[in-house]
Chain A
């Protein structure tokens, strides 16, 4: 039997006491246990940022890549060995700033990858600058007078780009987040899980108290199969100030790997070279 401790590398986390990343780490480990995914059974790809420092504490097949690039790396791994469960973990700067282009294309291609975004609306690792999801007027070292940018909404972006699973989680509610991670993993296709992650050091607006006051769980009666309703729900925070948390949208559709005839029978990594086919191809060049 696996336990959450089986995913501890022995290194202590480097996050600030109270950081939302602790909650996400705990929920991920719980989800792995409940999904029976051992440390050697999957690959986790990380970007650069506070979230990314999880690779040091998490015991698993880890690939700590470049800032903004976990999705291309993860999709290369998936295409080469689609039998491996692949998780990609980003921060908001990683996912929406440096990696914004990769994000929309991963959504539209629908790789079977679980994408976890640690969304703290601020750059933590570089000690507090504005991020693409920072609210307008947000004051940081980069915008001492307050940001004049409007924030990006990762959920509406994911919906419009074609992601087949779009959810919002909260780092302060580990049991619910565990369930959402499991659902995201069990969804066949690209699952986007944007997690509200309080940054206790650099974000004094979006705090635990703030989310507890304005956040609410999506009602049981909410049907996550209607894209138009999902857009409405995803816009609710900016329209009303209330913050719905849970699964906004889920759709069954063919994944990118489903469309790859070459890997129907065997993963690419399991296929060997066919010298006869190559010799035949060469002789076509006459």
Chain B
């Protein structure tokens, strides 16, 4: 197969199946042997407003989207107006000539218009306005020269639960579009031949986290609906009966986290998920998980704040919040995966850490990460990349920590031990015991005695010292000795690695590497200091306006990072933006 690197975008009014069409396109690409990355942009509403879905597909390994589009599918005029500046040289546009006739000056000369009477083709073949997307999907794949059979399979898998008639109708619509474009295309289509050597999974961040949680033995999940974690709800709700797990939609986030704590206390691995506003409601109980030493995993999907902020856009603005959420002093883990493989393993790891240290663990992600799709070789879930190996090895073995089965009369839930971790028991299995959100003695009974308060605080603090050994990262990507060292966390990794790849491909002399942080509490202070002391010029890259990672690094290592590349317009980074910012800083 020829080397292919292609970006496709479909845009239109919300409510016209943009998301499902984008997902189908992505799956046709992966089943044809391509790697994909996607993003969807949509306003916080159901009908009307502008939606778009972008897929980058390539035969090489890719890390991120690029800014330029090669094929734009415009289901309405607005899509052309909004996205024509993103078109690459020699890009093409599929549009309905009955909606829109390009005027001179509308599009630059090297853009190829591909007029396709979407609505008419749909209607002529027994469809209606909501089938335009499927006609356009078929046409897009004809442009790529993809085997139509692959699309048939994908549509079948996508719609079979709605019945064979719906599958047949979708295939018919796609075929009409496919044939129309194939017959009217002036140049030869790109040729994508099927390569099925590896099985590619197509996972969103939500799904990667959810599958990690399920394979860690999570049995109880609560989440009040909130963008961007709704994908986790769908995953758990669709599979709860098949897998013997429980998803409970609570009346609010306060209830959700308290239910999860109750389930965890009763003995099952439990998780809850939310975004900033919901997490604010959860904070009191989050603190109770710390005080009652109850394991709990919280998925926190960031979006721009403050307050309701931008519900359907992305941000990394809640790092300091995750690190300090909840009143009082207690240990929490904060893990920040940067790709789907990390999300899967860090999700599993979070359950081990929460159980081992009997404390909450946060998986801190963002809207872009939660909802973008990313292809992944299925084997990577069994054989993780070398950098992640030791973390994944521990994550793969289920560690439920210190547990006493059937304790006797001498059992004390909060017994003071050398490492600060008291053996945990489950109610209904042996001797009764008391768990208490008030400060308590070893038996769990409340105390206001100074010596007991200090002893219990020291017990919990010991866990902080012990947990320091669990800190890992930052992972070093790129040259070991570099002129410029970028630092970042979470989903920023994807755009930065793509930028590194572009720099390498350009064969310029500049050597750049990247320190990817994926465990921010406990903080890997020694390793960070060692790496940064060796670095020549350091640049902090974050999707927020206050650079909390740079602040955290300074707090933990004393090293100040002056150069920053920050983005806070609700959109994720593109590699091109990082490169141009880098050029500016480099010349300073």
Residues of chain A touching chain B, judged by Cβ–Cβ distance below 8 Å, are 9, 11, 39-41, 43, 45, 48, 55-56, 59-66, 69, 71-81, 83-84, 101-102, 104-105, 260-263, 268-269, 271-275, 277-278, 281-283, 285-286
Contact = CB atoms under 8 A, between A and B. Distances in A.
Contact of B267 (A11, A69, A81): A81
Contacts of B428: 40-41, 43, 61, 81, 83-84
Contacts of B264: 76, 80
B515 interface: no
B259 A75 contact: yes
Given A105-B251, A271-B219, A286-B31, A76 B435 contact: no
Interface residues of B, number: 65
B219 A66 contact: no
A163 to B, nearest CB: 15
Interface of B: 27, 30-31, 199-203, 207, 211, 214-215, 217, 219-220, 222, 239-246, 248, 250-252, 254-256, 258-268, 270, 284-285, 288, 292, 378, 381, 398, 426-428, 430-438, 444-446
A263 B240 CA distance: 11
A73 B261 contact: yes
Nearest to A63: B435
The 9 closest A-B pairs by CB, nearest first: A76-B262, A76-B259, A72-B258, A80-B266, A80-B263, A72-B255, A40-B432, A105-B251, A273-B217
Contact of A55 (B254, B292, B378, B434): B434
A42 to B, nearest CB: 8
A286 B202 contact: yes
A262 B285 CA distance: 27
Nearest to B268: A80
A271 B432 CA distance: 22
A73 B259 contact: yes
A146 to B, nearest CB: 32
Contacts of A40: 428, 430-432
12 contacts: A48-B437, A62-B436, A78-B262, A79-B248, A79-B263, A268-B219, A269-B426, A273-B398, A278-B211, A282-B381, A283-B199, A286-B199
B347 to A, nearest CB: 13
Contacts of A45: 262
Contacts of B292: 63
A65 B289 CA distance: 10
Given A62-B435, A277-B242, A56 B445 contact: yes
B438 A64 contact: yes
A88 to B, nearest CB: 10
Contacts of A72: 250, 254-256, 258-259, 262
A9 B446 CA distance: 12
A127 to B, nearest CB: 17
A73 B262 contact: yes
A66 B261 CA distance: 12
Nearest to A104: B251
A71 B248 CA distance: 14
Nearest to B443: A9
A262 B240 CA distance: 8
A75 B507 CA distance: 61
A271 B428 CA distance: 15
A105 B255 contact: yes
B247 to A, nearest CB: 10
B268 to A, nearest CB: 5
Given A282-B211, A283-B378, A65 B288 contact: yes
Contacts of A83: 428
| Most chain B CB within a 10 A radius of its CB, from A81, A101, A271 | A81
B258 A9 contact: no
B255 A63 contact: no
Contacts of A260: 246
Given A77-B263, A268-B220, A60 B258 contact: no
Nearest to A263: B246
Contacts of B240: 262
Contacts of B266: 43, 76-77, 80-81, 84, 269
Given A72-B250, A76-B270, A274-B244, A56 B446 contact: yes
B397 to A, nearest CB: 12
A282 B201 contact: yes
Contacts of B199: 283, 286
Contacts of B444: 62
A69 B427 contact: no
A59 B432 contact: yes
Nearest to A10: B445
A89 B402 CA distance: 30
A79 B258 CA distance: 12
A64 B214 CA distance: 29
B201 A285 contact: yes
Nearest to B376: A285
Given A9-B445, A73-B261, A79-B259, A55 B436 contact: yes
Contacts of A261: 241
A66 B284 contact: yes
Contacts of B431: 40
Nearest to A108: B251
Given A9-B445, A76-B261, A282-B201, A66 B432 contact: no
Nearest to B427: A61
B258 A80 contact: no
Contacts of A272: 217
Contacts of B217: 272-273
A107 to B, nearest CB: 11
Given A73-B262, A81-B266, 17 more contacts: A43-B428, A55-B434, A61-B434, A66-B284, A73-B265, A76-B222, A77-B265, A81-B267, A105-B250, A261-B241, A262-B241, A262-B244, A281-B243, A282-B211, A282-B381, A286-B31, A286-B202
Contacts of B250: 72, 105
Contacts of B258: 65-66, 69, 72-73, 76
A79 B220 contact: yes
A64 B243 contact: no
